[in-house]
Structure 1
Amino acid sequence: MRDTKLVTEYTNEELISNEKKAKAITIMLMVAILLLFISTMFLTFKKGFSALSVVPIALLPILIININNWNKLKKEKANRNL
């Protein structure tokens, strides 16, 4: 049994709403990862390597998944001419 709907099963309103949410969340995640990367680089140069230095790299797969989901929503929105 599937708990989530396929993108093609969304109503027009759900599709538009989910696309806006995905866009906002993905952009916020991009900014957060960028800030983490910059601060990690600064701290690495200042104090040396630590285990927290890999956190921005570890979050990249989540960002990639979000970008792919956002692109699927945009493609479906374009297919429906919304």
Structure 2
Amino acid sequence: MAEKKIEEMSNEELLKNEKTISAVTYTLAGMLLLLFGLGIFLTFKKGFTALTVVPIALLPIVIINFSNIKKIKAERKLRNL
């Protein structure tokens, strides 16, 4: 199913989408921070592992989601929601 553009969403869809994206993004960011800390700890303890690279590789997803949240908030402001 194709994703609707933000401008084409109804008010309810926009609010639901913002809530979902926010929850997922903040959870992912928290888990990546935890994973990054664990990776640094394991690097000092046992040497470099592939686990150290995973949070860095997944960081663009968090950045993209934060920009989507910003766009949704701007659209909410335009619609006076």
Range class of TM-score, shorter chain: over 0.9
Structure 1 unaligned segments of length 5 or more: list them: none
- State the alpha-carbon separation in 2 of the partners of residues 7 and 36 from structure 1: 32
Root mean square deviation of aligned Cα = 1.2
State the percentage of identical aligned residues.
56
5+ residue gaps, structure 2, are none
Cα shift readout 1:37-65 (whole Å, capped 9, x = no counterpart): 01001100100001221011001111111
1:50 counterpart residue number: 49
| Alignment partner, residue 7 of structure 1 | 6
Please list, as runs of the form range in 1=range in 2, the aligned pairs for 1:8-47 lying within 5 A after superposition: 8-47=7-46
| Moved >2 Å (runs of 4+) | none
Q: Distance in 1 between matches of 2:76 and 2:19?
A: 11
Q: Work out the CA distance in 2 between the residues paired with 1:24 and 1:4.
A: 19
- Partner of residue 66, structure 2: 67
1:9: Cα distance to partner? 0.3
Query: Residues of 1 paired with 2:14 and 2:27: CA distance?
Result: 20
The normalised TM-score by structure 1 is 0.93
What amino acid sits opposite 2:78 in the alignment? N
Q: Secondary structure at the match of 1:26?
A: helix
Q: Secondary structure at the match of 2:70?
A: helix
Distance, in Å, in 2 between the alignment partners of 1:35 and 1:55 is 12
Q: TM-score, normalised by structure 2?
A: 0.94
Aligned partners of 2:72, 2:60: CA distance in 1, in Å? Answer: 18
